[in-house]
Amino acid sequence: MFDSDGKPYDPSSDGWVPDAAGGFMTLIGPVWRKSVDDVIRFGMLAQQKHANHRGIVHGGAIMSFADYAVGMSMVAQSGNINQVTIQLDVNFVSAALMGDFITGWGEVVRRTSSVMFLRGTIEAPGRVVATVQGIWKIVRPLNQPGGPGGITEQEQQ
């Protein structure tokens, strides 16, 4: 995706702001964020580091981005609930090309006391790249007693 001067697309020119994605997402990002019609959307500019052997965006890069975009959409919609992915189904619909600004978002379909069922869409300009469905487990924060990796109640005493 290029602007009228042939320069690579700059997401900030359309109101996208850098997302605070850390960890693994720094390897495939930067990731961008924008509210569109009261829905938080996430974006990623397809670069050569995302390419597969055919020169299009690798399915694994799309899946990683989908996991992040749909999961973080749920976090934004649910008041920053801590969660982890326990199932992710990605259906590839069309290719994402180098230079495409890929966007993604999700919605909560159903919520129980311990899991959330989500669906989402990943798009490139003018086309759907993938559809996503998944289940996310609601978890305690890492530093909360009894949380994964957190201290136990015995250690607190």
Report the percentage of the chain scoring pLDDT > 70: 86
Residue 1, pLDDT score: 59
Structural domain contains residue 72: yes
Tally of CA atoms within 13 A in the half-sphere of 18 that contains its CB: 7
Structural domain contains residue 98: yes
DSSP E strands, the chain: 17-18, 31-36, 39-45, 83-92, 101-111, 115-124, 127-138
Q: From its phi and psi, is residue 24 left (phi > 0), alpha (psi between -120 and 50) or beta?
A: alpha
Judge contact between 124 and 157, C-beta under 8 A.
no
Structural domain contains residue 57: yes
Give pLDDT tens digits for 55-88. Answer: 999 999 999 999 999 999 888 777 778 888 999 9
- Tell me how long the chain is: 157
Full-model pTM: 0.84
Give the model's confidence band at 21: pLDDT under 50 very low, under 70 low, under 90 confident, else very high: confident
Give the model's confidence band at 157: pLDDT under 50 very low, under 70 low, under 90 confident, else very high: very low
Give the model's confidence band at 154: pLDDT under 50 very low, under 70 low, under 90 confident, else very high: very low
Question: Domain span at residue 129?
Answer: 19-140
What is the number of domains present in the chain?
Answer: 1
Structural domain contains residue 130: yes
Phi and psi, residue 26, nearest 5°:
-65, -25
Q: CATH code at 63?
A: 3.10.129.10
